Structure 1
Amino acid sequence: MNRVRVVVAVLLLTLSLCAGRPAQATASPDASVVERIAPGVEYRAFSLATAHGPIRIHLLTADLRRPGVRAGLLYPGAVADRAPVSVMAERQGAVAAINGDFFNITEDQHPGVPATGAASGASVLDGRALKAAVPEGQRFGGALPAGDSAEDVLGVGTDGRARTARLTLHGHLRTARTTLPVRGLNQYALPEGAIGLFTSQWGSASRARAVCGTDHNRAAPCTREVFEVTIRHGRVLHTSTTPGSGPIPPGTLVALGREGGARALRALTPGTTVETGYRLASTARVPFAFALGAYRVLKDRRTLPGLDAVTAEPRTAVGIADRGQLLRVVATDGRESTATGLTLAELARLLRSLGCDEGVYVDGGASTTLATRDPATGRTTVRNTLDHGQQRRVPNGIALYSLRKRNGSGGS
């Protein structure tokens, strides 16, 4: 990809990472080195100087136009589960991977209620709805940039092009007498007064966290007005006044209600026939093959207003170029190295300088992890400097694949 070399050369001359003044951008000795991770997937690392210190940037470029090159959801096997990026990448046969969405990492405000580890935003796995987004006040990761929504995602459509969009849950529970709206799907926090569904993909974690906090205050107490209904093959199996835990078998759904949702569910008694349905409605015209929660910093090659220009942290970001046919995947060093990280405003300018039309950020700090597979040994190696030298276990990420045929059979 000669275009990557050109873009980075221009970047080193013109990138302004310092608000209000030109940056003195200096490349490290390996700035011109491009590693071919696999056909259509390349990696490089380079350094820049900023007003607040040096910054080390790790860049993956995936050409989605190349046959066999695709992106997918990095996934530990359950929504309420976590694993290191390199471990998930090896399990899934990815040639490169990066961490994803912010997640329910701790529950200091709710003693006795375990954190679920589940991601905050919506996600799509293999073209199917995996989970919906929690209310904005319940998400982790700080305040959203102006104009962004907790329902914002980045993903790749069934047409093979990357894009951003919003995914809104539409669901229902229908009996012979009534239809109840469903406003949650495999999420660690339900909207106030709502009913949420949990499927076998949730995992075995307790569902108690889903009825804690409010739409605007994650730390608010857990509600005491709770009702849970287990539905198997379209019929109510049993009910409970407390949220349950443990694996949910295939063919079984758990409907959990809080406040008004709990009162509505009390009408469903064992033996009641219930028809359920749900989908993630997208603002994109093309369905997603995969998607995960992400927050925009760049749109139509313009940085969004109001981005933080003060706090420099290790960052993870994804840029979209060439009408969704190129992915630029970025991780920066910080905390445990001489690099200072980037502010969100700097991150947006970096993505724009890399030729991106759109750009998003995902979880950063100690979660920032970019890993690639060594073509010679097949081993997956983390390329950025990790916080305390350890990979944080995360709930999802982006996996990059490069598959080519060998003697008529699939291979990588």
Structure 2
Amino acid sequence: MDKERNNKGHAAPKWIAASLAGVLWIMPVIGGELPLFEQGHASIAVAASSFTATKVSEEIITSGATKLKYKYTVTRSGSKAVGLADVIRVDLNNPYVSIDVMTGKNGKLTTRQSTGGMARETGAVAAVNGDYFNTGGEGAPIGGEVSGGTLVSTPSQLNGLYAFALTTENKPVIDDFAFTGTITAADGTQFALSGINKGAYSPEGGTSTYSHANAAYIYTDAWTAQDRPKNSSTTPTEVLVENGIITQISMNSALKVAVPAGAYILRTHGTAAKFVADHLAIGQPLTAAYSLQSKVTGETIDPASLKMMIGGHTILVDKGKATAFSRSVSSIGGYRARTALGYSEDGRYVYIIAAEKNDDSSGMSLSELQSFMTSIGVYKGLNLDGGGSTTMVDRPLAETQTTLTFDTEYGTEQRSIVNGLGVYTNAPQGELKGIKISGSSVLLIGQTAAYTLKGYDTYYNPVDVASGNPSWKSSSGSVSVNGGEATAVKPGTATLTAGSGSVNASTTVTVLGSGDLSSLKPGTASAPLKEGTVISVPVTAVTNSGASISVPSSALKWEFVGFQGSVQDGKLTVNTVNPGVTTGYAIARYDGFSTVIVLTEAAAVPWENFENVTYPIAFTTNASGVQGSATITDGSDNHAGSKVLSLGYDMTAGTGKMYAYAQLNGTTGKQVPAAATSMTLDVMGDKSLNWLRAEFTDNSGATVYVDLAKTIDWTGWKTLNIDLSGSNMKFPATLKRLYVVNVEEGQDERAKTGTVAFDNMSFTMPSLSSEAGLPPRTAVMVIGQKTLTVNGTMKAIDSAPLVKDGTTYVPIRYVLDAFGGSASWDPSTRKIMVLRGSKALDLTVNKKEFILNGKRQSAEVAPILLQGRTLVPLRLVSEQLGLTVKWEQKTKTVIIES
């Protein structure tokens, strides 16, 4: 028993996976036993009867591999949901295409890399993320792995975890595999081998709750970490075997070396360690024999008979139908991004499947995934790691590099994972088959974009055609083109044509006009009206089809009301403020379509100095092994005598991308009540070169991450000024956490321990109510009379209100004179720009559409031009500007109040 305890005399913690959500999160088991996955098979899944999928595109990646995109619709709780799914279909009958497992960095376990990174490193033309893994472990798959015909890792002793394999005869297999093996000493005695290159876990169906207790495991040079593995809960005895001969034995302690190339280390515990002590000696031979076994049929499989194998989770489809889950799926439920593998009934096609969860797609449940798989021809299929890990990359036709097939659940960020499945081509170079033009299909006026001519051969692999000096031409004056560089001149459509030798290619480019836009959004809707203010003012156009496009600075014309300013390199600078002005406007126009930034008087508002904190502050982390503290303490140096928030962290026992959080007020956070354009705080740096961030939750429920410092490259106290104007945060918002990030790449160059501190946090919050200075008044006008009475005082006006076709029209200039605001008239475009408080209203004579603060809307009636005077529909203007209108029928009197 003593050998099964650590040297402090108490049982070491068991580490097991508590849930599945894209990856496995690990926690120590305290007290009772907690299984790695919840036990028990689910009943046969009820396929989503309302599920339908339609193929929307089909593109060849390489000879034998095709990418298909599907749109699906499904009814959930009476509501319709839509989404997208992508399939790489691989033809196993094609001699030029193959599939194999991609592993970490340089093909090694205990390293992690993104799907795209592994694809680039291995030369894959398409790839998807692979097996589940323990995020707190060294970085090894939970299932079995065979790559290039080599058994890299064995299946874990867990129930119902299926795997996909390909035999040396190119036959696809999906099965639940077990591992059996023995080691044989020189004297002929044998001991059971429990696995190869496995992390610590809690096995199922055996006599031990510790995977490594009384067990022997082989670790090959594919396992790069010196922990073999960590948290194995026992004291090890390790044996180094080189060329079949024992060269080192370390009793009751691990060897202090990584596994040499071509060798392996036998790690033993308990009774297995006793076997080593009794039967092995340096200089003697040691042999190992092992095989895989189907838990379903009992068939024994020689790993050498497999080209590749990758592990997964539950089986989903069998014999072309949804089948019972092979283990509980409660921890991987919900509507998420999903990845799956399957094959056709004749074994010819492999289907590599990814369901999207992003702004364009609602994700899938597992039962919906089953429906999708059967609808596209999957005969047998299994679930791979999904959720946030779901990533697919592919090489577009004629391109040389893979790109993201779709945005992940986290945008363009790809998680670092332990393995993936890659698609490869070994096709020879063929003849030029075709060319294509690569570049944007949509441009904005004034935008310049590069277009390239790329070719592909008879095997659909890229061919360089740029060296042939292709010719370019445009079919219309909407776009001018010169040597592959196109410039949008005016709204319209143009066909760009490029030729190389006898082969030509064309693409259609649309230049958007104001009529093609539904809205124009500035990065911030408000800003402080103060000389010297500088804020980011990115502008995004949303098309009538819903697409978002960043508007280049060259395409915008700016106008400033109430102040003198300028916009350069996407930043607005307030140079001077006009005397007496409390509200100013920065108006951006694209082809006449306007949006506005409202500037009001504002100052930095103290938000938290940590002197009298009444809410809880706690340390949290994302990774096991990371420790730290978040406390209110006395400040140091020039903050001596002041209370500060101190965040200390120790990441030496953690792995992967690690976070150390100072969490404010539990899960609630502390509110930032009004729209903030900037944030100022004092930070004591530790020169750790880590990344410093803040996490907000905005008024829409979205999480907004704000960089405080990309690199903590200073020591002592420093004041940071953070521009929030480009964050798209909706206020009121809450600041949830301040935290340090140690990203996985380049960790050897950054400190894993340190302390940072925060003090004197403030926000610049321009008033939400720019109407605060607007006068409360009552105005009276009588139809047909050229008078206006404001708060009892009558004045003459040069245009009378009138009623036409049941609509009351008023001269807008006089209404604004009474209630605050201004109106300007552009005779060339016949537009009226109305500014009042926080509102900017763009009206056009004889057009029912109007633009309010950058958003296109529609009214029942339009402004009119009568005898050289512009009259606007009273109801439309009053509703949009926040005024109240009353009508007295007897006297034909209009009463307007603010």
TM-score range, shorter chain: 0.7 to 0.9
**Corresponding residue number in structure 2 for 1:71:** 99
Give 1:98-177 correspondences, 5 Å limit.
98-106=128-136, 115-136=137-158, 148=160, 150=161, 152-177=162-187
Identify the match of residue 293 of structure 1 among 278, 286, 311. Answer: 311
**Corresponding residue number in structure 2 for 1:91:** 121
Distance 2:237 2:282 in 1: 17
**Corresponding residue number in structure 2 for 1:23:** 50
In the superposition, relative to structure 1, how do residues 21 and 280 fare at CA in structure 2: closer, same or farther (>3 Å)?
A: closer
Distance 1:402 1:131 in 2: 25
TM-score (norm 1): 0.79
Pick which of 273-282 and 320-329 moved more: 273-282
Give the 3-state SS of the residue equivalent to 1:168 in structure 2. strand
**Corresponding residue number in structure 2 for 1:207:** 228
Give the 3-state SS of the residue equivalent to 1:405 in structure 2. coil
Pick which of 234-243 and 357-366 moved more: 234-243
In the superposition, relative to structure 1, how do residues 35 and 227 fare at CA in structure 2: closer, same or farther (>3 Å)?
A: same
Identify the match of residue 278 of structure 1 among 275, 289, 293. Answer: 289
Give 1:9-408 correspondences, 5 Å limit.
19=46, 22-23=49-50, 25=52, 31-52=55-76, 53-76=81-104, 77-106=107-136, 115-136=137-158, 148=160, 150=161, 152-177=162-187, 178-189=189-200, 190-209=211-230, 211=232, 222-223=233-234, 225-233=235-243, 234-244=245-255, 246-267=257-278, 270-283=281-294, 287-295=305-313, 296-306=315-325, 308=329, 311-334=334-357, 336-389=358-411, 390-406=413-429
Post-superposition CA distance 1:87-129 (Å, at most 9, x none): 21122222111111001212xxxxxxxx211111111112121
* Residue 19 of structure 1, CA deviation: 4.9
Post-superposition CA distance 1:130-169 (Å, at most 9, x none): 1112232xxxxxxx6xxx2x4x320211111222134433
Distance 1:160 1:226 in 2: 40
Give the 3-state SS of the residue equivalent to 1:249 in structure 2. coil
Larger-gyration structure (1/2): 2
In the superposition, relative to structure 1, how do residues 133 and 21 fare at CA in structure 2: closer, same or farther (>3 Å)?
A: closer
* Residue 322 of structure 1, CA deviation: 3.7
| Conserved? CA contact 1:366–1:392, under 8 Å | yes
Distance 2:212 2:336 in 1: 31
| Conserved? CA contact 1:80–1:205, under 8 Å | no
Matched residue type, 1:264: F
Distance 2:48 2:385 in 1: 28
In the superposition, relative to structure 1, how do residues 245 and 84 fare at CA in structure 2: closer, same or farther (>3 Å)?
A: farther
Matched residue type, 1:169: F
Comparing both chains, which one has the higher relative contact order based on Cα–Cα distances under 8 Å and sequence gaps of 6 or more? 1
Give the 3-state SS of the residue equivalent to 2:289 in structure 1. strand
| Conserved? CA contact 2:337–2:355, under 8 Å | yes
Pick which of 191-200 and 93-102 moved more: 191-200
In the superposition, relative to structure 1, how do residues 191 and 290 fare at CA in structure 2: closer, same or farther (>3 Å)?
A: same
* Residue 205 of structure 1, CA deviation: 4.5
Question: Which has more strand, going by share of residues?
Answer: 2
* Residue 367 of structure 1, CA deviation: 1.0
**Corresponding residue number in structure 2 for 1:4:** none
Matched residue type, 1:33: S
| Conserved? CA contact 2:47–2:322, under 8 Å | no
Matched residue type, 1:319: G
| Conserved? CA contact 1:300–1:358, under 8 Å | yes
| Conserved? CA contact 1:63–1:69, under 8 Å | yes
Give the 3-state SS of the residue equivalent to 1:202 in structure 2. coil
In the superposition, relative to structure 1, how do residues 230 and 39 fare at CA in structure 2: closer, same or farther (>3 Å)?
A: same
| Conserved? CA contact 2:108–2:224, under 8 Å | yes
Task: Give the % identical residues.
Answer: 21
**Corresponding residue number in structure 1 for 2:571:** none
Distance 1:122 1:352 in 2: 26
In the superposition, relative to structure 1, how do residues 274 and 398 fare at CA in structure 2: closer, same or farther (>3 Å)?
A: same
| Conserved? CA contact 2:214–2:268, under 8 Å | yes
The two structures, once aligned, show a CA RMSD in angstroms of 2.6
In the superposition, relative to structure 1, how do residues 26 and 351 fare at CA in structure 2: closer, same or farther (>3 Å)?
A: closer
